[in-house]
Chain A
Amino acid sequence: MGAVVVFCEVSDDGKAVRTSSLPALAAGAELAKHHGGGVVAVVVGNGVGAAAADAAKYAPKVLAFDGAGLAAPLAETWAPQLADAVKRAGATALVATATSTGKDVLPRAAALLGAGMASDVTGVLGAKELRRPAYAGNAVETVEVGGPVVVASVRQSAFPPAVAGAAGAVETVAVAAADALGAEHLGVHGTKSARPELGDAKVVVSGGRGMREGANFKILEELTDLLGGALGASRAAADAGMVPNDLQVGQTGKVVAPNLYIAVAISGAIQHLAGMKGSKVIVAINKDPEAPIFQVADYGLVATWEQAVPALIAEVKKLKA
């Protein structure tokens, strides 16, 4: 058994490892205990020196795949670097956080390695034994990953972020050319916001179909900002176009586990619960006393959002005063 390669994404400014990758470094360290080798952090891109130096705070060794052909986030060019990293490091495991990039790139890297992969891992039981949710979180699987390399995407909320320590060594691999196979990244149209990322937020306030229209989310935004949280939504609300889809919490959206999750006018479909059941404290506000969301809520309030949310904002302001 050997080292564990952890794919670390680079922040937008290029200077650091994304905070979403820190749980993967922690999971990688846990897995490394079973594999007997150390963690090798991998960064991929163009001009990733600063990010590699940042990654070195979390791993004894960093491989930085650097080249102009790697500037765009393309699975076609990045997956071969991860496969190469595994070979260079003599690794027996490859780990990344299950972000949209991780989900896109990691299975392709597994294909190139002929390796088995477990998605959305929430626990490490042994070198090849992992735990992961399936069936919208209604079952927890214990899986064994066969093959030469164990590939795992890990759920961000299931592992604590890795803590910075003594600086490791950085080895840069200059990549002269990368074949994108005719794929081109044309840009990202972001929903930039000053709020924390859904995956990192300590508080998440989500609205559902009962909010009726996008303009009504303003009041939830006010509560969100008051609590320093992130705004989320149910699939029904995202489907209805009330909010952008990247706010969707659930089986088909983001999985969050904040300290406080406030579900407003969300009925609690199985697929939504799959995305927030791991939250420490769940509050449900819904006018329907039979709504399934109340079955997972620590505190349930039967009320319309029109009554409850402005009153809650006033109460929170009092507490903060």
Chain B
Amino acid sequence: MKILVTAKRVPNPEQKLKLAGGQIDLSGASWQVNTFDEYAVETALRLTEKGKGGERAGEVVVVSVGPKDVAQQLRGVLAMGADRAILVGAEDAALDADSVARILKAVVEREKPDLVVLGKQTVDGDSNQVGQILAGLLGWPQATFLASIRAAADGKSATVTREVDAGVEEKRVRLPAVVTVDLRIIGKKAVRNEALAPDGAEWDETQRYASLKGIMAAKKKEIKEVPLAELGVAPAPLLKVKTYEAPPARKAGIKVASVEELASKLHNEAKVI
């Protein structure tokens, strides 16, 4: 199975966001791969494995859209085990979900994967759109917010569970398809390719980290830089961010000394119970 997986770089979400003059100052940001994309990479790798640390079959191609520096994050994904990488050169500010999806569509048409795996959202933009737009543009089925995926032995379909408001939905999609993953996807038995891994195959309950061997191997793997012009896509973002502001601050609260005081405040002061 050939899988295309996305990896966007995002500023470390634990760092305090610097806002000034209606803009976000990312000059001092430390960058990392979007968490949900790390889960997507883990998902893609498991789909090409017989089991944890077992033999592999198929190919995992990671793609990112962004400035040249993203090569650093892509190297990290290659160290996790992805086979090769594609970096489509573009400035973050010139992109929105629609333009990223159009660029990915062009990459999909070149690479012809059986499956595209994305994180359900990035933790900076929080938009949760790219996978769905990509599926719509390609005319492919989609399965979003995956908690699990089982690729059929014949390679023609995948059965998934999805995190939905009412619980967990089970869905089957014909391949090729676009899927986006939620955090449960890194569960021990959440991912399995029936053509490779036996029933009951287990992985660690986390995305894998690069081993020293992986890091060494990654140095020899290809990161192909592809200029936008070569893909024949001219992104024209439809969504423009005009300004960023800090959210309204909550007024400082108080510490109460006892449960009795808490209940009394909630009843008499806040009037919520």
Task: Using CB atoms and an 8 Å cutoff, list the residues of chain A in contact with chain B.
Answer: 20, 73-76, 79, 99-101, 103-112, 115-120, 129, 133-147, 180-192, 197, 199, 203, 227, 235, 239, 244-246, 251-252, 254, 259-260, 270-271, 277, 280-283, 294, 296-303, 307-308, 311-312, 315-316, 318-319
Contact = CB atoms under 8 A, between A and B. Distances in A.
A122 B130 CA distance: 20
Chain B: interface residue count, which band? 35 or more
A220 to B, nearest CB: 15
A108 B173 CA distance: 16
Contacts of A118: 239
B128 interface: yes
B267 to A, nearest CB: 5
Nearest to A298: B253
- Give the interface SS of chain B, mostly helix, strand, loop or mixed: mixed
B222 interface: no
Contacts of A191: 166-167
A277 B250 contact: yes
Given A99-B165, A302-B255, A134 B126 contact: yes
A283 B159 CA distance: 41
21 contacts: A100-B162, A107-B130, A115-B238, A116-B237, A117-B97, A117-B98, A143-B240, A147-B238, A181-B139, A183-B142, A183-B172, A183-B174, A183-B177, A186-B170, A188-B164, A189-B170, A190-B167, A294-B253, A307-B259, A315-B259, A315-B262
Contacts of A302: 255
Given A139-B24, A298-B270, A183 B242 contact: no
B157 interface: yes
A135 B23 CA distance: 13
A280 B271 CA distance: 11
B101 interface: yes
A8 to B, nearest CB: 15
Contacts of A115: 238
Contacts of B182: 245, 252
Interface string B130-174: 111111110111111101000000000101001111111111111
Contact of A119 (B127, B242, B258, B272): B127
B256 interface: yes
A307 B147 CA distance: 35
B172 to A, nearest CB: 4
A133 B127 CA distance: 9
B240 A140 contact: no
Given A146-B238, A146-B240, A182-B141, 10 more contacts: A101-B164, A117-B238, A119-B128, A136-B13, A141-B241, A183-B143, A252-B182, A270-B13, A271-B123, A307-B259
B255 A227 contact: no
> Interface centre among B126, B162, B170, by most A CB within 10 Å?
B126
B28 interface: no
Contacts of A316: 263, 273
Contacts of A187: 169-170
B73 interface: no
- The 6 A-B residue pairs with the shortest CB-CB distance, nearest first, are A182-B174, A116-B238, A111-B136, A315-B263, A107-B132, A190-B167
B31 to A, nearest CB: 14
Interface string B101-113: 1000000000000
A101 to B, nearest CB: 7
B128 A181 contact: no
A188 B166 contact: yes
Contact of A301 (B137, B144, B177, B255): B255
Nearest to B244: A139
B265 interface: yes
Contacts of B183: 235, 239, 245, 252
Contacts of B57: none
A294 B253 CA distance: 8
Given A116-B96, A139-B247, A245-B184, A186 B159 contact: yes
B125 interface: yes
A111 B126 contact: no
A92 B144 CA distance: 27
A73 B166 CA distance: 12
A251 B167 contact: no
Interface in B245-271: 245-247, 250, 253-256, 258-260, 262-263, 265-267, 270
Given A119-B126, A251-B126, A104 B132 contact: yes
A26 B14 CA distance: 35
Contact of B101 (A73, A111, A141, A235): A111
Contact of A116 (B239, B242, B260): B239
A125 B258 CA distance: 44
Contact of B136 (A108, A186, A235): A108
A270 B262 contact: no
